[in-house]
Amino acid sequence: MRSVLINVFLFIVLLGGEPAGLNAEQLRDTFQKVKRSVVVIRTTEKTVAPYPLQGILSLPGLASGVLISDDGKVLTAAHAVQVVDRVAVEFADGQRVTARVVSTAVYADVALLQLDSVPLGLTAARLGDSDKIEVGDEVFVVGAPYGLSPTLTVGHVSGRVSPKISLASASASEFFQTDAAINGGNSGGPMFNMQGEVIGIVGSILSRSGGFEGIGFAATAKMARLLLLERKPFWSGMEGILVQNDIAGVLNLPQPAGFLVQRVAEGSPASRLGIKAGALRVSIQGRELLLGGDIILSVNGIGILEDNTSLDMICESISKLKPGERIVTKVLRAGQVIELSTMITPQVITAVPRANPILERDSE
């Protein structure tokens, strides 16, 4: 019997397998090395109270992130920080520091934060080469689901997904699909390969129940690097939706489509420009909207179109501007078309996330 077990063990090794205990030991050691780089993102955001309540509520938010540099750069999910008023980053040892949003790419759901101060003794994670990851590779996710940090879940890369997005700047967009468990609070957390390198940033799940059902997505590290680290940063601090067809008619747009502003973060470029957010919560065609905010009609003379192709042109137009040149944004406000003029400064970056074509307000 003993000889049979030995032969089976040798057969597994010859096939390239290894005992489960060795895999567990490798994962345990790798987790110990990377867990100090994983952070909890705590945010505060003002929003319109849901019916039947009235007024503005200040809501706390929870997400995850990963420290990627010794000078305090943190990657997280764009949807977690795009329109927040305040951000704090909490480390595994309990230290908490404030941070600011530097750049977001809404269509890719990735964002870059900068710590206001960098605590001593931090360990930054290393960005890996996500191009080398194949379907079937084992990965693990570390984050703070429901505030439980640090939590590890293990799974595999189930697929690679390239969404159909018209923006030229998003042509390289790619996401990993994974069966590693992802729940509320995991958004923005790192997906690691088994060597402890960050190869993805957790974004969203597909679910009918609202909980994890085995299909989660993470933006690839390559995409995060290209959009946030290798181009000039940009954050509008604004969130909204494209309105067209019947809804555009109901809102009395003077053109077929526009960008209806929903929320604006305090102190953001959009806020300093004077962009107004929605203030009245309504339901139109089964979709909940905030009305009363500005509707962006054009940027630099390029009108918002129904098929999103204008966003490519807006992006290209702004990317060619130099410090001292201006951006002119037309908005529909309270039934009147007005212009908001913006000057490019050396600190403002000439990249435009999806449907967020607002930069910085002129000094008064």
Helix, strand, coil percent content, the chain, rounded in steps of 5: 20, 40, 40
Q: Which structure tokens are listed for 205? A: 């799940």
Residue of 79, 103, 173, 317 marked catalytic: 79
| Phi and psi angles of residue 138, each rounded to the nearest 5 degrees, phi first | -80, 140
CB atoms within 10 A of CB 229: 15
Name 96's bridge partners: 90
Residue of 187, 268, 298, 317 marked catalytic: 187
Counting Cβ atoms within 10 Å, is residue 26 exposed (0-12), middle (13-18) or buried (19+)?
Answer: middle
Question: Quick one: which of 152, 162, 105, 167 has its CA closest to 130?
Answer: 162
Separation of alpha carbons 251 and 243, rounded Å: 9
Separation of alpha carbons 3 and 161, rounded Å: 47
Distance, first Cα to last Cα, the chain? 86
Contact (Cβ atoms closer than 8 angstroms) between residue 350 and residue 321: yes
Within 8 A by CB and 6+ apart from 340, the residues are 273, 274, 275, 328, 329, 330, 331, 358, 361
Upstream peptide bond of 150 is cis (omega within 30 degrees of 0):
yes
Residue of 37, 64, 103, 109 marked catalytic: 109
Q: How many CA atoms lie within 13 A of 338 on its CB side?
A: 12
Question: Quick one: which of 83, 46, 40 has its CA closest to 65?
Answer: 40
Within 8 A by CB and 6+ apart from 92, the residues are 35, 36, 38, 39, 149, 150
| Phi and psi angles of residue 299, each rounded to the nearest 5 degrees, phi first | -135, 125
- Catalytic, 109? Answer yes
Q: Which residues are catalytic?
A: 79, 109, 187
